[in-house]
Amino acid sequence: MIPVITFLFAWILGREGLNRYKSLSLVVAMSGALILMEIDKLDISSDLFVGDVFIFINFTCFGLFLVLSKSMIEKHSSLGLSVLVMSIGALLLIPVAVYGIYNNWESWLNLSWWIYFAAFYSIFFATVITYSLNYYAMEYVDSSKVALFIYLQPVVAGTISVALGRDEITTRLIVSSILIMLGLLLSTVEMKSSPKTSQ
């Protein structure tokens, strides 16, 4: 949903134009993602539905964040914005981290090296590197196109899971992967005759 929400915000705010290829790429890629997430088994009466609502709120906030970040990158460098965002986030989390360590310091001492490695990976690679690359990409392409590649995440995760023997290749995985890749391919097609709203 993040790519769709990002595009809607970009369009509403006049940051991006609309053409048939961009619209079609969003629909096709989103269809693949929804199939992979088993949208056909969605149950709004489930206890998990409340969690899904909060996830949707997260999608909305992140989509708006990508659109607004684009204008900031046009005024400042992607590296500078990355440092600024990470620094503010770190400062906000320091009090929480100190409180958690202070009240559970014995548990921290007993954690295995694998837990520390997983934490380092999540902080450095999954957060710092990922966001920095997002900002760098937005120097050259629209926010909605950067967001569109988020649909690759479930495909990559599924492929790794199969490679590690933790999952099996299914018709659902194959069909969804084809749709997502087709959507990404369509997003690279530029319509020269389609006017693009100035950023």
- pLDDT tens sequence across 128-177: 888 888 888 888 888 878 887 887 787 788 888 888 888 888 888 888 88
Q: Is residue 196 part of a domain?
A: no
Q: Could you tell me which of 6, 10, 123 has the C-alpha nearest to residue 59?
A: 6
Q: What is the DSSP letter of 126?
A: I
C-alpha to C-alpha distance for 144 and 18, rounded to whole angstroms: 11
Q: Is residue 93 part of a domain?
A: yes
3-class secondary structure, 31: helix
- Tally DSSP H helices, then E strands, for the chain: 10, 0
- pTM for the model stands at 0.71
Count up the domains in the chain and report the number: 1
Domain containing residue 105:
2-187
Q: Is residue 79 part of a domain?
A: yes
How confident is the model at residue 190, as a pLDDT? 55
User: Which of the residues in the chain have pLDDT under 70?
Assistant: 42-46, 190-199
